[in-house]
């Protein structure tokens, strides 16, 4: 009888131990998951928080266990930014009953927050936070490429449609020319013809740059390319009160590029820098610093201005086709530049601060 009792006792101890083991194992897995996990019990008190979540909140875990939401929000270590975000999550998921919420943190990372509660959770509230920055980046690039492909198609169609009537007009003007000469108005014919040719050139240029065609590459030195571009922009800079400085290292930096296209990109960015400097009110000494340096198998070209700068909202739309803040802007300069650099297997990135200036960084692979 006694041994039977001992056996049962032993068995339940073993069972308990094994469930404890399993529990420990699961807890261990949860602890080290790459998503942040928070679990509130039915009283609203925090009963579990994993390593990743504490890292995200930048607070020691032990000081949070047992806190309710209000106490968490009063925690002295929690930054104002995070408090605001937590309140927002609470409002969206608990108050508005949304299952998901997305946010961008102070470091620019994207997070997806999922909240689970109700019957399936036995009254507990489970909040998990996952870093989705990589997905967002892929999604945005796909969206951007899609828009650029669309822009290419639309512009090619428009350019084609405009070219046809221009050819007809050109033909008829040539037929009219002898009559205009008789009237002593040959000058008119000449102007019309040169203007039509100019319009054709513009369309040709535009078609060339928006077409997703492979660039016509030749090997050139970055230094001579930059020197040439600076030479082209210096006089305009002088007129607008912008000083253009070019700083080049001694190293030889050769790239294999479509010179016309890369020049167009650099001219677009420098022109934008001059415009941004003009936007600054009052007597402002404009400075555009252009530089280049080697970085492994790449060369980084930087173009920095002390113009009016951009805020986050503007930066997000910068490369969108037709996005412009200028009265006479086309909003095509940067979207075309982006496409050209991507076609060269390079990259453009921008850093800017409203009121103090902007720096564009072009990365291109070395030849
Ligand atoms: N260096 C810069 N400083 C401030 N804003 C800039 C700069 N470069 C570009 N931008 C902003 O990006 C917009 C888009 O530029 P872009 O594609 O070249 O078109 P556009 O010059 O015709 O407006 C500009 O209208 C301007 O608001
Ligand atoms: Mg521009």
- The domains of the chain are located at 24-131, 138-210, 218-365
pLDDT at residue number 276: 96
Atom 19 of ligand 1 has which residue's CA nearest to it? 331
- Residues in contact with 212: Cβ distance below 8 Å, sequence separation at least 6, in sequence order: 148, 149, 152, 339, 343
Mean predicted confidence (pLDDT) in 79-102: 90
Residue nearest to atom 7 of ligand 1 (CA): 272
Facing residues of 37 across strands? 128
pLDDT tens per residue, range 56-76: 899 888 888 999 988 988 988
Nearest-angstrom CA–CA distance, 124 and 101? 19
- At 160, the pLDDT band (50, 70, 90 cuts) reads confident
Indicate whether 210 pLDDT > 80.
Answer: no
26 vs 36, more confident: 36
- Which of 233, 265, 267, 275 to mutate to test ligand 1, by most ligand atoms within 8 A of the CB atom? 275
* Confidence (pLDDT) at 209: 58
**CA–CA distance, 262 with 281 (Å, rounded to integer):** 31
Gap between the Cα atoms of 216 and 30, Å rounded:
54
Percent of the chain with pLDDT over 90: 48
pLDDT at residue 357, rounded to an integer: 96
Task: Enter the CATH code of domain 24-131.
Answer: 3.30.450.20
For 349-359, the pLDDT digits (tens) are 999 999 999 99
Span 239-298, pLDDT tens digits: 888 999 999 999 999 999 998 889 989 999 999 999 999 999 888 899 999 999 999 999
Cβ–ligand 1 contact at 324 (below 6 Å):
yes
May I ask the CATH architecture of the domain 218-365?
2-Layer Sandwich (3.30)
* Residue 178 pLDDT: 92
Average pLDDT over residues 116-134: 89
Question: Which is nearest to 202 in space by CA: 249, 236, 155, 248?
Answer: 155
- pLDDT of res. 229: 93
Torsion of CA 223, 286, 361, 255, to 10 degrees: -10
Poorest-pLDDT segment among 106-120, 236-250, 268-282, 303-317: 106-120
In short, whether 225's Cβ falls inside 6 Å of ligand 1 is no
- Average pLDDT (219-233) is 94
Mean residue pLDDT of the chain comes to 88
Q: In the predicted model, is pLDDT for residue 45 greater than 60? A: yes
Pick the ligand that lies closest to the CA of residue 280.
Answer: 1
Rg (CA), the chain: 32
pLDDT of residue 223: 96
195-207 tens-digit pLDDT = 888 787 667 666 6
Tell me, using a 6 A CB cutoff, whether residue 151 lines ligand 1. no
**Average pLDDT of the residues in 117-133:** 89
pLDDT of amino acid 141: 82
pLDDT band at 12 (very low <50, low <70, confident <90, very high): confident
For residue 142, what pLDDT band results from cuts at 50, 70 and 90? confident
Q: Where does the pLDDT of residue 36 fall: very low under 50, low under 70, confident under 90, or very high at 90 and above?
A: very high
* pLDDT score for 213: 57
- Ligand 1 in reach of 357 Cβ (< 6 A): no
Q: Are 352 and 308 in contact (CB under 8 A)?
A: no
Q: If you measure from the C-alpha of residue 190 to the centroid of ligand 1, how many angstroms do you get, rounded to a whole number?
A: 36
Q: Provide the pLDDT confidence category of residue 11 given band limits of 50, 70 and 90.
A: confident
182 band by pLDDT with thresholds 50, 70 and 90: very high
Ligand that lies nearest to the alpha carbon of residue 276, given by its number in the listed order = 1
């Amino acid at each position: 009888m006694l041994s039977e009792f001992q056996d049962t006792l032993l068995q339940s101890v073993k069972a308990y131990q094994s469930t404890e083991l399993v529990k420990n194992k699961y807890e261990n897995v949860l602890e080290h998951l790459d998503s942040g996990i928070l679990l509130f019990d039915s009283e609203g008190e925090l009963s579990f928080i994993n390593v990743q979540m504490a890292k995200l909140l930048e607070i020691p875990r032990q000081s949070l266990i047992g806190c309710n939401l209000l106490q968490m929000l009063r925690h002295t270590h929690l930054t104002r930014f995070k408090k605001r975000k937590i309140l927002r999550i609470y409002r969206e998921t608990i108050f508005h009953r949304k299952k998901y919420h997305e946010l961008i943190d102070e470091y620019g990372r994207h997070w997806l927050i999922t909240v689970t509660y109700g019957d399936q959770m036995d009254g507990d509230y489970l909040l998990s936070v996952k870093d989705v920055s990589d997905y967002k980046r892929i999604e945005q690039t796909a969206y951007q490429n899609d828009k650029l492909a669309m822009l290419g198609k639309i512009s090619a169609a428009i350019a084609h449609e405009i070219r046809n009537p221009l050819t007809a007009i050109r033909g008829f003007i040539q037929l009219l020319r002898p009559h205009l000469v008789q009237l002593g108005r040959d000058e008119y014919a000449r102007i019309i013809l040169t203007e039509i040719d100019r319009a054709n050139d513009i369309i040709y240029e535009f078609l060339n740059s928006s077409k997703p065609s492979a660039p016509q590459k030749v090997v050139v030195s970055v230094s001579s390319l930059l020197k040439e571009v600076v030479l082209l922009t210096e006089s305009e800079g002088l007129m607008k009160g912008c000083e253009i400085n070019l700083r080049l290292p001694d190293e030889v930096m050769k790239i294999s590029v479509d010179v016309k296209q890369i020049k167009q990109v650099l001219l677009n960015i420098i022109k934008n820098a001059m415009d941004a400097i003009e936007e600054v009110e009052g007597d402002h000494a404009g400075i555009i610093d252009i530089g280049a340096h080697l970085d492994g198998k790449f060369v980084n070209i930087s173009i920095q201005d002390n113009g009016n700068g951009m805020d986050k909202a503007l930066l997000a739309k910068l490369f969108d086709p037709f996005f412009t803040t200028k009265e006479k802007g086309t909003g095509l300069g940067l979207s075309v530049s982006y496409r050209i650099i991507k076609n060269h297997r390079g990259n453009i990135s921008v850093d800017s601060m409203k009121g103090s200036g902007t720096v564009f960084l072009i990365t291109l692979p070395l030849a």
